[in-house]
Amino acid sequence: MTILFLIIAIVILASAVMVVTTRNLVHAALWLIVSLFGVAVLFAMLNAGFLAVVQVVVYIGAIAILFIFAVMLTRREMRGHGKPLNNNWWISALLSLLTFGGLAMLLSNWDGFSQTPADFPSDFDGVAELGNALIDPNQFVLPFEVASILLVAALVGAVYIASNRK
Amino acid sequence: MDWTLWLELVIKALVLIFALLGGFAYLTWYERRLLARFQSRLGPNRAGPFGLLQPIADAVKLIFKEELTPAKAYKLVFFLAPIMTLVPSVIIAAVIPWGPPFQLGDRIVTQSIADINVGVLFLMSIASIAVYGIVLAGWSSNNKYAMLGGLRSAAQMISYELTLGLAFVVAILLGNSMNLTDIVEAQRDGRWFVLVQPVGALILWIATLAEVNRHPFDMPEAEQELTAGYHTEYSGMKFALFFMAEYQKMIVVSAILATLFFGGYLGPWVDRWPLLGPVYMFLKIVILLFIMIWVRATWPRIRYDRLMAFGWKVLLPLALAVVMITAVGILLAEINPWMIWLIPIFSLIAGAFASLMIDRSLRRKAYA
Amino acid sequence: MQNEWLYIGLFLIVGVALPAASLIMAAIITPKKSNPIKNSTYECGMETVGDSWVQFKAQYYIFGLVFLIFDVETVFLFPWAVTLNKLPLFAVIEGIVFILILLAGFTYIWRKDALEWA
């Protein structure tokens, strides 16, 4: 299992690096799909089947499609000209290194790494638990409805911006 | 994981893949013979008895065909696109239960590759990645027909995917589970979901027709205006893979429809002989495929703007209405079991209303 | 449960190997006699004019955006549908409110003609 995890983690990281370094926009979108798919596999390995499938439906099936549409519909030239890095790259590299260091410092005090998760009971049904949490008034009813409102806001905003030029 | 488990998996995977391959080969024969019947022709009848060897002859021909790669094509993606189209059509079959589990020696063998608790959502996720192969094929060919076909197909597939997902929600509501085996088991004793929710089944059927780009929704490969759509530039084995993907998708969506609304593997004596399960599935799939081919022989193609309008303005609201009606109906059925029949009544009213609105809108735009 | 996903993963590998193997086999067997005319873009005999990677209708993108929103909505409805039999009345009302809020947005974009393909 650990070996599988390492392979997938490397695939995710490598394809993420390819997304930002490749010059061809469609290649970047395809590498992004590989990376997202790797995350879905990680969810599946963690017994989070629902999250794995939702990752595929929403991220690969909808968001990445939107990227591909955007690339295909707006750009005449698929290859970017000019260097992908500008001269200030070292500042951002330093910043991300510092952030990573800070996170690593914080996490080094956390003892969660050395613990193994408890096994699920055999009749555990994550999806039913999730559904219950969504409709239980003491838990996530309000976020569930707020999510709906948020979606409507996104919908209205997107359509308003997109059709403004007419 | 002991070795018997591996053996079981390998055998099941091989059986499923070869069943799909054989199904694909003979579905082409079935379709050609049926279309010929509808048009008072004979159809392929030279190779073997009733033309039964025709698929083999076609396969041999396609393998030995020269493959052309257009000079202006985007080579890598051009090569990957057929694979990306075929793979979803195969792995979507992994979660479909083909029969009830049976006892073999001292172990229980399930008749599906994987029995996951989010089976229905898995179907939807695979349906959503099926877009990629087609759109990338169209884009990488660097051909205007192919590009238009790929884009049309992508827009059409994402539009009808929402309806597909909502029809899945209807089946989940009725079966109270996302596990496909549970959904089938909930339809025992002839309580097929198509009886409770006929409109839901019809919506799912229309959405799947659009998802697999079949008539009358085959605008992406409309011969008269786009030559062959997204696979214009493909030849030889690569073309065969597209062809294979389309026909395997037809088989698989028929299997999904049979599982969710037509009782799946259930039928008389299926509990005593579990291997009857695949036989019932086969019969149901053949009947559903017959209807698909019948539709192809009967109806003309829908114009593209109307196709999109139908998907967004008719099917999506109708599907949402059907979801709400089903939820309320299940609530009322808790009070009195007979109230469950309010679901079909109200859904049929909603469906009739929707068709009335289509009729009105078509009359208003007499020019269109 | 872990095993089930492993099965799907293995089946995926088989599913990828099958078309890849057939393509490789075909690449070995097939005759290769290409020439520039054969490899030109097929447009029913006409000479190709211009590039085919041009800008298409922005409408495709709008449909993509609207699809994304409703896709997320459908995903939310799935766990709701699974647990409908527990606390039914409240759950049904909750789900219907969820759908109605989104239908309001849907009406807006319909009125805005974002769904017109013209």
Express each pLDDT in B191-217 by its tens digit: 888 888 889 899 999 998 888 888 788
Say what the pLDDT of residue A166 is. Answer: 47
Contact between A41 and C9 using a beta-carbon 8 Å cutoff: yes
**Minimal Cβ distance to A159: which of C75, C86, C109:** C109
* Domain annotation covers residue A133: yes
- Closest partner residue to C77 (CB to CB) among B114, B169, B330 is B169
- Can you read off the two tokens belonging to residue A76? 């005449």
Interface test with B, best of C42, C80, C115 (most B CBs within 10 A): C42
Q: Quick check: is A87 in a domain? A: no
Query: What are residue B109's DSSP bridge partners?
Result: B102
Domain edges within chain C: 2-111
Residues of chain C found within 8 Å of residue B161, distances taken between Cβ atoms: 67, 71
Six token digits for residue B13: 């995977």
Look at residue A75 in the predicted model and tell me its pLDDT.
58
Contacts with B308 from chain C: Cβ below 8 Å: 63, 115, 117
Residue C28 contacts B where some CB pair is shorter than 8 Å: no
pLDDT < 50 regions, chain B = none
Give all chains having 3 or more CB-to-CB distances under 8 Å with chain A: B, C
Q: pLDDT tens digits, residue range B290-313? A: 998 898 888 888 888 888 888 888
Distance from the Cα of B118 to chain A's closest Cα (Å) equals: 6
Which amino acid, residue A122? S
Two structure tokens written together for C49 = 């004019």
* Partner-chain residue, chosen from A44, A76, A120, that has the shortest CB–CB distance to C55: A76
Task: Check CB contact under 8 Å for B113 and C78.
Answer: no
The residue of chain A with its CA nearest to that of B76 is A27
Give the E-state strand segments of chain B in sequence order.
Answer: 102-104, 107-109
CB contact under 8 A, A54 and C75: yes
How far away is chain B from the Cα of A112, in angstroms, using its nearest Cα? Answer: 28
Please name which of B43, B212, B9 lies closest in space to residue B113, comparing C-alpha atoms: B9
* Chain C neighbors of B87, CB-CB under 8 A: 12, 15-16, 19
The residue of C28, C73, C92 whose CB has the most chain B CBs within 10 angstroms, and thus the best one to mutate to test that interface, is C92
Residue B68: which domain range? Answer: 3-364
Q: What is the DSSP letter of A79?
A: B
A27: tokens are: 């290649």
B345's tokens: 């009544």
Read off the DSSP letter of residue B315: I
Contacts of B79 (CB under 8 A, 6+ apart): B238, C23
Which of B5, B167, B181 shows the shortest CA–CA distance to B95? B181
pLDDT at C98: 85
Cβ atoms B15, B9 nearer than 8 A:
no
Cα–Cα distance measured from residue B363 to residue A148, given in angstroms and rounded to the nearest whole number: 36
Average confidence (pLDDT) over C54-77:
80
| Residue A43: CATH number of its domain | 1.20.120.1200
C93 contact residues in B (CB cutoff 8 A): none
Q: Is the same domain home to A68 and A141?
A: no
In 3D space, the residue among B195, B242, B5 whose CA is nearest the CA of residue B114 turns out to be: B5
Q: What is the CATH number of domain C2-111?
A: 1.20.58.1610
Contact across the interface for A126 and B129, Cβ inside 8 Å: no
Residue of A nearest to B122 (CA): A53
- How far apart, in whole angstroms, are the C-alpha atoms of residue B154 and residue B211? 10
pLDDT for the residue A98: 93
> What is each CA distance from A112 to A77, A116, A121, in whole angstroms?
48, 8, 21
| Long-range contacts of the stretch B297-300 (C-beta < 8 A, 24+) | B297/B34, B297/B35, B297/B38, B297/B39, B298/B38, B299/B215, B299/B216, B300/B216
Q: Are residues A132 and A70 in the same domain?
A: no
Residue A76 lies in a domain: yes
Q: Tell me if chain A has a CB within 8 Å of the CB of C5.
A: yes
Domain count, chain B: 1
What are the tens digits of pLDDT across the range C5-27? 788 888 888 888 888 888 888 77
| Tokens found for residue B323 | 């979801």
Domain count for chain A:
2
Please give the residue range of the domain that contains residue A75: 1-80
Task: Report d(CA A135, CA B120) in Å as an integer.
Answer: 20
Assigned domain for A59 exists = yes
3-state DSSP percent of chain B in helix, strand and coil, to 5 = 75, 0, 25
Q: What is the pLDDT of residue C1?
A: 45
- How many helices (H) and strands (E) chain C has is answered by 3, 0
How many Cβ contacts (< 8 angstroms) between chains A and C?
A: 138
CB-based contact B175:B183 (threshold 8 Å): yes
ipTM rounded to 2 decimals: 0.83
Backbone φ and ψ of B107, nearest 5°: -125, 155
pTM above 0.90, yes or no: no
**Is A86 within a domain?**
no
Answer whether A47 sits within 8 Å of C2, measured CB to CB. Answer: yes
How far is C-alpha B279 from the geometric centre of its chain's CA atoms?
19
Distance of CA B88 to CAs A52, A136, B211, B365, Å?
A: 16, 36, 12, 40
Cis before B216 (ω within 30): yes
CB pair distance less than 8 Å for C19 and B86 = yes
Q: How many CB atoms lie within 10 A of CB C49?
A: 8
- Contacts of A9 by beta carbon, 8 Å cutoff, 6+ apart: A38, A42
Q: Are residues A133 and A62 in the same domain?
A: no
Contact residues on chain A for C64, CB-CB shorter than 8 A:
62, 65-66, 69
Q: Please list, residue by residue across A130-160, b when 16 or more beta carbons sit within 10 angstroms of its beta carbon and e when fewer do.
A: bbbbbbeeeebbeebeebbeebbeebbebbe
pLDDT at B5: 77
Residue numbers in C near B115 (CB within 8 A) = 4
Radius of gyration for the alpha carbons in chain A, expressed in angstroms and rounded: 21
- Residues near B328 by beta carbon (within 8 Å), at least 6 away in sequence: C92, C96
Mark yes or no for CB contact A134/C87 under 8 Å.
Answer: no
The Cα angle at residue A69 between residues A17 and A144, in degrees rounded to 5: 85
- Answer yes or no: do C83 and A148 touch at CB < 8 A: no
Look at the alpha carbons of A54, A60, A61, A65 in this order and tell me if their dihedral is positive or negative.
positive
Distances (CA, A) of B25 to A131, B52, B150, B364, C66: 42, 10, 25, 46, 38
Q: Which residues of chain A have pLDDT under 70?
A: 74-86, 112-125, 163-166
Instruction: State residue B287's pLDDT score.
Output: 92
How is residue A29 written in tokens?
């979108």
